[in-house]
């Protein structure tokens, strides 16, 4: 079904394109701006690794930044090419599973990473949609404003349920399995005063990450000769990201391109420029995939000797938080 959906989406996208115009637009692309995009993407990956490090540290689990950055690059590669939405997340959980505190922390840190990132993404899209709607009255922006208003109205309720005392009844009941109980109990770490500074850094890293995403997309559009409103680009980026989460195509192929072409066409961007922007956006990820390969080879060289249990220290070797598997 995914193959069929991907083929149908790609067919629709390609049918919208005037190919002579596509070639002319592509030939005029500013390559130097694309190099800047690549550098900014590497910076955003480092921000993501820093965010992951801080989320682990909230629970008292500490890993070296360089180690987490390497694992993050590898997980990013896996998330792009494995036929699953959680391949990269599963890899990150696996690499931090043998921490000295609790196994559930590896899951909770990745979950918190995803949740905070999604909240910031929707907040950026919500603010951009309000601006676009007030400025133009565009219907898609209006729909996003309504959906965003509902989401952010319900969010405090969800947070209250998660951290309220009433959850103790649920965790003590037979309906709450042990792993879920442990997950809920360790979530209290985010309420500690010592965690506030780290969580401030986590939120700042999330805003910076999505700000870079919007800016690099705008920069690629500018590189192909399109000067667009950054708020409109932010709306398109949010729409593309949410569409890419739907498990109906292979790696979001066709779905993300179609979403971007459709949204930006409403703002006056030609299908040719929209498709080129998405293709170049994927192409600028290639250097990061190469970096992931380097990290993976280095990781293989650091593998323990045969017979050593996973995560166990060598004889007379102290257990450290930064020990690589």
Token pair for residue 272? 């040719």
Residue 310 lies inside a defined structural domain of this protein: no
Structural domain containing residue 168: 2-9+30-297
Residue of 221 and 255 predicted with greater confidence? 221
Residue of 101 and 108 predicted with greater confidence? 108
- Cα separation of 262 and 274, whole Å? 8
- 324: pLDDT strictly greater than 50: no
User: What is the per-residue pLDDT for 194?
Assistant: 65
User: What is the per-residue pLDDT for 72?
Assistant: 94
What is each CA distance from 132 to 101, 144, 214, 306, in whole angstroms?
47, 10, 15, 59
Task: Look at the block and give the residue holding tokens 């036929």.
Answer: 83
Residue of 225 and 175 predicted with greater confidence? 225
User: What is the per-residue pLDDT for 101?
Assistant: 82
- 303: pLDDT strictly greater than 70: no
Residue 318 lies inside a defined structural domain of this protein: no
Residue 317 lies inside a defined structural domain of this protein: no
Q: How many beta carbons lie within 10 A of that of residue 177, not counting itself?
A: 9
Q: CA angle at residue 108 from 72 to 211, to 5 degrees?
A: 50
Residue 313 lies inside a defined structural domain of this protein: no
User: What is the per-residue pLDDT for 307?
Assistant: 31
Residue 306 lies inside a defined structural domain of this protein: no
Residue 98 lies inside a defined structural domain of this protein: yes
Residue 151 lies inside a defined structural domain of this protein: yes
Q: What is the DSSP string of 11-32?
A: HHHHHT--HHHHHHHHHT--HH
- Mean pLDDT, rounded, for 61-82: 88
Name the pLDDT band for 316 (thresholds 50, 70, 90).
very low
Q: How many beta carbons lie within 10 A of that of residue 137, not counting itself?
A: 9
Which range is least confidently modeled, 57-61, 77-81, 128-132, 228-232?
77-81
**Number of structural domains, the chain?**
1
Residue of 45 and 17 predicted with greater confidence? 45
Q: Are 297 and 51 in contact (CB under 8 A)?
A: no
The string of pLDDT tens digits covering residues 160-189 is 766 666 666 666 666 666 666 676 677 777
Residues 6+ apart with CB under 8 A from 249: 2, 5, 6, 9, 255
Residue of 54 and 314 predicted with greater confidence? 54
Name the pLDDT band for 55 (thresholds 50, 70, 90).
very high
- 237: pLDDT strictly greater than 50: yes
User: What is the per-residue pLDDT for 11?
Assistant: 87
Residue 315 lies inside a defined structural domain of this protein: no
User: What is the per-residue pLDDT for 165?
Assistant: 63
Q: How many CA atoms lie within 13 A of 317 on its CB side?
A: 12
User: What is the per-residue pLDDT for 191?
Assistant: 73
């Amino acid at each position: 079904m995914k193959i069929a959906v991907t083929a149908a989406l790609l067919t629709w996208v390609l049918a919208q394109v005037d190919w002579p115009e596509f070639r002319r637009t592509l030939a005029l692309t500013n390559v130097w701006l694309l190099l800047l995009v690549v550098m900014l993407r590497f910076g955003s990956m480092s921000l993501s690794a820093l965010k992951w490090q801080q989320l682990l540290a909230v629970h008292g689990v500490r890993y070296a930044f360089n180690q987490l950055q390497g694992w993050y690059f590898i997980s990013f590669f896996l998330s792009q090419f494995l036929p699953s939405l959680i391949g990269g997340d599963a890899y990150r959980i696996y690499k931090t599973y043998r921490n000295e505190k609790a196994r559930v922390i590896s899951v909770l840190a990745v979950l918190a990473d995803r949740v905070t990132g999604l909240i910031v993404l929707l907040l950026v899209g919500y603010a951009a949609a309000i601006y676009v709607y007030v400025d133009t009255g565009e219907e898609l922006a209006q729909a996003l404003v309504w959906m965003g208003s509902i989401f952010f109205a319900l969010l405090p309720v969800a947070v209250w349920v998660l951290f309220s005392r009433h959850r103790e009844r649920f965790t003590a009941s037979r309906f709450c399995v042990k792993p879920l109980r442990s997950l809920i109990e360790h979530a209290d770490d985010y309420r500690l005063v010592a965690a506030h500074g780290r969580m401030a850094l986590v939120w700042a890293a999330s805003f910076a990450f999505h700000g870079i995403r919007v800016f690099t997309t705008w920069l690629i559009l500018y590189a192909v000769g399109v000067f667009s409103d950054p708020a409109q680009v932010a709306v398109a980026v949010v729409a593309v990201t949410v569409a890419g989460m739907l498990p109906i195509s292979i790696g979001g192929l066709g779905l993300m391109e179609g979403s971007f072409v459709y949204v930006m066409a409403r703002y006056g961007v030609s299908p040719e420029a929209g498709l080129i922007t998405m293709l170049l956006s994927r192409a600028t990820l290639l250097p990061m995939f190469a970096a992931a390969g380097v990290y993976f080879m280095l990781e293989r060289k650091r593998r323990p000797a045969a017979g050593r249990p996973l995560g166990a220290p060598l004889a007379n070797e102290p257990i450290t938080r930064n020990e690589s598997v």
